[in-house]
Amino acid sequence: MTTEEAIRLVTAARSHADLFGAEAPARRYRELVGALHPDRLAAADPRVRAAATAALTTVTTRWRNPEAYTGDIATLHRKEGPLLNASGRGGAPSYHLIKVPRHPGDNDLMAREARALRRIAERGDARHLAYVPRLVDSHPVRDPSTGAERLVNVLATPPGLHSLEDVRRAYPDGVDPRDAAWMWRRLLVALGLAHRAGVVHGAVLPRHVLIEPDAHGLVLVDWCFSAEPGGLVPALVPGQEDWYPPEVAAKRQCGPGTDIALAARCMTWLMGDRAPHELRAFADGCRQPTLSARPDDAWRLLRELDEVLHRLYGPRTFRPFTLNP
């Protein structure tokens, strides 16, 4: 395994099994460590050495702690925590996620997440706060071996969450639009909550939209790429560049319509060819090329979506949803 292959594998892995495989995990671990070890990279480009160092940290951390998994810029460690529920109902136990950036240069993105979640908690409607993670703590931690300081965020989320990527893998031919409907509605609630608090998420991608299938809950995670309306989304998630509306890549001002366009893309992707014409037309209206042409009020858009859904399917009814179709 080459160093470049190892870096790509670590960057793409979303779980312990993705990284180490199921048949010979110890052998894969040794291969990765060998490919990423500093002794092998003395003459390498500095950027390759930096990427390999970050990847090696992820490999060793996740080998020691299988509960850790990889986010876009951080490694997350799961610990049991107090009570919280994604649907805002009941009292299911939650988990604390200790989010450690793999590179100190991403501390500014961790700080953005902390600021966004604090602002939403302070200014948002308390009835809807369960749609975003709860910031438990944010503090610097110094690596004793290198002296590097990393900003660590501690978040609380419910258990039993699955990303829209997981959902699409379970339904490769597309999700029934009647099931996608509740996910879209709840995603608009999460966005309405954030936008009224003065926060644009900036990375509404399938991997960041987590659902709780049984209770039809939803949590929008990874606020590291957030901005204020009129500001700039600070970075694009690597490998997801094609998902973004034009203003993000062009480094133009973002707004609520940025998130609304990304959310519509998520939902049409989730439904695939099963999406009816009416919902595709609705999504197209959310994804106009310019920010000024798009809807900018998620709450008003939710009412418009409800009207479309009522014309298609009649009064809302609860449909049980499972990831084992």
Q: pLDDT per position in the chain (325 positions), as tens?
A: 888 899 888 888 776 667 887 667 788 888 998 888 887 777 677 888 888 888 887 787 667 665 566 788 888 877 765 444 444 444 444 568 889 898 899 999 999 999 999 999 999 999 999 999 999 999 999 877 678 899 999 999 887 889 999 999 999 999 999 999 999 999 999 999 999 999 999 999 999 999 999 999 999 999 999 999 999 999 999 889 999 999 999 999 999 999 999 999 999 999 999 999 999 999 999 999 999 999 999 999 999 999 999 999 999 999 999 987 6
> What's phi and psi for 143, nearest 5 deg?
-75, 115
Maximum Cα interatomic distance, the chain, rounded to a whole number of Å = 66
Question: Six-digit token pair at 296?
Answer: 């900018």
Cα angle at 228 between 227 and 234, to 5 degrees? 25
Please give the pLDDT value at position 254. 98
Long-range contacts of residues 299-303, Cβ cutoff 8 Å, at least 24 apart = 299/188, 299/192, 299/196, 301/188, 301/260, 302/185, 302/188, 302/189, 302/192
Residue 234 to residue 290: CA distance in whole angstroms: 19
Distance in angstroms (rounded) separating the CA atoms of residues 304 and 313: 14
**Model confidence, pTM:** 0.79
Q: How far apart are CA 117 and CA 183, in angstroms?
A: 21
The length of the chain in residues reads 325
Amino acid at 41: L
**Of 286, 131, 154, 284, which Cα lies nearest the Cα of 209?**
131
Q: How many CB atoms lie under 10 A from the CB of residue 127? A: 10
**3-state SS assignment for residue 183:** helix
Exposure string over 40-62, b if 16+ CB within 10 A, otherwise e = ebeeeeeeebebbbbbbbbbeeb
Nearest to 203, CA basis, from 51, 77, 72: 72
Q: Are 185 and 313 in contact (CB under 8 A)?
A: no
What 3-state DSSP class applies to 70? strand
